Structure 1
Amino acid sequence: MQFEPIVKPDQWIFSQSFTVKVEEIPQVIGPTFMKLGGFIQEQNIKILSTPFVSFKNMDEHGGLDESAIEMEVGFPVAEEVKNAKKIDSDSYFLPSYKEMSGLYVGKYEDMTDPYFAMMAEIKKIGGKFSGISYEYYLSDEEIPEEQQETIMELVYE
């Protein structure tokens, strides 16, 4: 897997945040994508890129408190979603930031080693991992698990 340091541009985000146990993650992601995506369509707002899941409270080694994972499920959008609160969601402007990015192909449960490798790459270039990751899912559930494609991004300073 190859990594690339990039600067993510400013963008509007439409999302919903959760604090969940690790075993609850699969029950949150799909329904939230459907809820948010449907609302975006109703509002005629343009989606700019692939939906994402972000994990917010990772430690400097990539670990998470599996009993209280802070996660955000959302979409980059072309403009503010003014009535986001109507469906208990948020719309905000996310300023540009630096991240290490890589395309991962394989089973979701095997992503731990690529995360560690990306953190090592951040250290190698003199950066410091911020504790925030993004996962952009490029494949749907009909693709075999070992062929699933995910863009992994780790925010750093």
Structure 2
Amino acid sequence: MGKISEIMLLKQPEQFALAVEVRTDMNGMSKAIGGNFVRIDSLFKEQREVTTDIPYVEYPDFESLTEQNIRMIIGLKSPKELQGKEDIQSIIIPERKIVSCLHRGTYAELATLYNEMMEWIKSNGYKASGTSIEYYYTGPDAPEEEQVTRVEMPLL
């Protein structure tokens, strides 16, 4: 199916989050993401707080990822600053401009959306930061072709 919204330029306010940085390979991605979402959610529950958005995975320098070397920041946004624990850090996501779009379909099809978003950024006179963030609206049990993902690209 592909893109299910227009590519939009948005101003994102400063936000708090709990996040953990992970390095893995393609085979370990699903386990790393799922396991860390559970760990971070448990830390929210310990502090009697709820997330303000759906889970996200940030890919710093996404254009240089390889199947063997994937750097991810896995997180959940919070309404206020929370306490980190062990390797889970309390972070502040700065106010920034982002380009955002919703996608439905397989993760393999996301490459087309990424290319379209990068072209949109360039043709509208902006510069991408090199980071992408994916928000997962559907769980791993949903059929792959029904996966809904919001992709954001912060701008410089």
Verify same fold: TM over 0.5. Answer: yes
Instruction: Give 2:16's aligned amino acid.
Output: W
TM-score (norm 2): 0.91
**So what's the TM-score if we normalise by structure 1?**
0.90
Identity of aligned residues (%): 28
Deviation of 1:24 (Å)? 1.8
Deviation at 1:156, TM superposition (A): 1.4
For residues 151 and 11 of structure 2, the distance between their equivalents in structure 1, rounded to whole angstroms, comes to 14
Question: Contact between 1:8 and 1:99, CA under 8 Å: does it hold in 2?
Answer: yes
What is the SS of the residue equivalent to 1:72? Answer: strand
Query: How far apart are residue 8 of structure 1 and its match?
Result: 1.2
Q: 4+ residue stretches of structure 1 with deviation over 6 A?
A: none
Distance 1:141 1:133 in 2: 20
Partner residue in 1 for 2:92: 93
Q: Which residue of 2 aligns with 1:56?
A: 60
Paired residues, what number?
A: 152
Partner of 2:134: 135
Deviation at 1:63, TM superposition (A): 4.1
Q: Where do 5+ consecutive residues of structure 2 fail to align?
A: none
- Measured on the aligned residues, the alpha-carbon RMSD in Å equals 1.3
Q: Which structure 1 segments of 5+ residues have no match?
A: none
Match of 1:39 among 29, 37, 43: 43
Alignment partners' CA distance in 1, 2:27 and 2:129: 24
**SS across alignment from 1:24:** helix
Partner Cα separation in structure 2 for residue 81 and residue 38 of structure 1? 13
